[in-house]
Each structure stands twice: as structure tokens, then as C-alpha cells.
Amino acid sequence: MIGFFLGIIYASFLEWWVHKKLFHEYGRKKGSIFDFHLRGHHAVSKKNNFLDSRISSRESYGLCLLGFIHLPTCYLSPVFFCATISYALAFFALHNYGHSNPIWGKKWLPWHWKHHMENPNQNWNVVLPIADWIMRTNK
């Protein structure tokens, strides 16, 4: 049980860091491998009131890569590994469903809605805003 809980907290911080650092900081640089996030996803969802029903292949490949990179943790703690993979699957499902159904997204992922519609420099988490609470980036 503790391993699963720690895996969820770890995954929340990983999501926070990837979103903040890679997608927003490195993604600002034109030609960056991460520029799709701001120039594509953010631009489309802001223009369409949170709606962006496209599924990003780069995001999908990135989630698979992160799962592969974390595979060794399966030998150390299968429960921790299952938590991180569960979090990644939840991210994929919730993020895509929320942006395909903006009314649902605003109701059930209000922190992510605020990230897109109010201030893109806050609320970095999508699944669970644990890291945002701890890092005080939830507004």
C-alpha cells in the first residue's frame, strides 16, 4: 500500500516537472521537440474554449518511453511501478477526455482548465494536483 501511495506522489511530481520544464520552458524554443505543446495543444485549446480532440502522437510516445524507462522499478517494487503506470494511463485518458468534452473537463479537472483558460504558468498537474499543492503552483 505504501509503495502505491509513493508511486502516485512520485508520478504527480514527474507529471508536474515534465509539463512545466519540458513542455513550457523548453517548448517555448521554436524547433524544440516539445514545441508542439504550446504551439499546437495550448493554441488550439485556448482558441476553442478548452476543446482539443486531437490525440498527440508525441505525447503518446512520451508516455510509452517513460513507462519503459521506469521498467527497472518493477523489480524493486512492482506496486510502485504499477502506480506510476496507472497514473500515466489516467493522464492519457483524463487529459484526452477532458479536452474532447470541455464541460466535463471544467467540472472534473478544474485545475487543468484554469491552466489553459486563465494562466498557463500555474496548475501544471492534470491527474492529481498533489505536486501543485506542495509546490504552491495551484491557483
Neighbours of 22 (CB within 10 A): 15
State whether residue 75 is helix, strand or coil.
helix
Residue 30 has pLDDT above 90, yes or no: no
Domain coverage including residue 121: 2-135
**What is the per-residue pLDDT across 93-109, written as a single tens digit (0 to 9) for each?**
999 999 999 999 999 99
**Total domain count, the chain:** 1
Q: Would you state the cell numbers that stand for residue 69, as one nine-digit string?
A: 524507462
Q: Would you state the cell numbers that stand for residue 113, as one nine-digit string?
A: 482548465
pTM of the model: 0.91
* Angle of the 2-17 helix axis to the 78-100 helix axis, nearest 10: 50
> Quick one: average pLDDT of 57-70?
89
